[in-house]
Structure 1
Amino acid sequence: MIQKGLREHIEETGRVFEKFGLTPMQGRIMAYFTNIDKPETTFSELVDFFRASKSSISTSLNYLLSAKMINYGTHASERKKYFFITDGFFRIYFMHLLDNIQELKELCYKTVSMRTGEYPEVSEKIMRWVEAANSFEESIQNVLGSIKK
């Protein structure tokens, strides 16, 4: 039995996961895992809940498995796979965020080096952003370190 409002909450949470580069179905599956009470779920439960094609669910699960956001196990004497969210699931997002910050910082350095110097206040503003990004990057590294423990 699905508790009232859970389906809407999963949709809303799934849209947030989409902002991290997941497809709508991948995002909703991740939202499902983070919002249901059970620690694991089966393929058929996902198909039933989302009322989506087996192909769509399967493709999304395969991506999430390859990205190590989820994993699966089996129960003794059963062939069914039971999918569950992994411990490293948030680490993946933080690592992507760090990569994006690094790329943007490199572009900022290049931008400043290409500027004519006619308006130094713009270059100074860009470098203040880089300093803030460095602090943010350090904070994320600290979070990643605490997740590892």
Structure 2
Amino acid sequence: MVERDELTFVEEMGALFERLGYGRMAGRVWGYLLVVDAEQVSAADLVEALDSSPSAISTATRVLISLGLVDR
């Protein structure tokens, strides 16, 4: 579980990625991965933590993979 200031960071990363043209959800996922205390995070974990749909998480994950920020 992440703290409120960490959730703020997640949302700020979403806004940054959106401004850069990569999409808000990609930034939210990246921000969450930076603050969560876990070795691995599943798509289901991201859906729950970010209150999002599986398809949005899948699309965001593909963006992050294409940027070289995450591996499957």
* Seq. identity, %: 29
Q: For this pair of structures, how many residues does the alignment match?
A: 72
Runs ≥4 residues deviating over 4 A: none
- The match for 2:69 is 69
Q: Does the 8 Å contact 1:17/1:31 carry over to 2?
A: no
Do the aligned partners of residues 69 and 6 (structure 1) sit closer, same or farther apart at CA in structure 2, a change above 3 Å counting? same
5+ residue gaps, structure 2, are: none
Q: Select the structure with the greater relative contact order (CA < 8 A; seq sep ≥ 6).
A: 2
TM-score under structure 1 normalisation?
Answer: 0.43
- The match for 2:31 is 31
1:32 is displaced (CA, Å) by 1.1
- Matched ranges for 1:20-59 at <5 A: 20-59=20-59
TM-score under structure 2 normalisation?
Answer: 0.79
Structure with bigger gyration radius:
1
Show CA shifts across 1:90-125 (max 9, x none): xxxxxxxxxxxxxxxxxxxxxxxxxxxxxxxxxxxx
Q: Does the 8 Å contact 2:65/2:71 carry over to 1?
A: yes
1:71 is paired with a residue whose SS is: coil
Separation in structure 2 between the aligned mates of residue 4 and residue 64 of structure 1, nearest angstrom: 24
Structure with greater strand share of residues: 1
Q: Does 1:60 align with 2:60?
A: yes
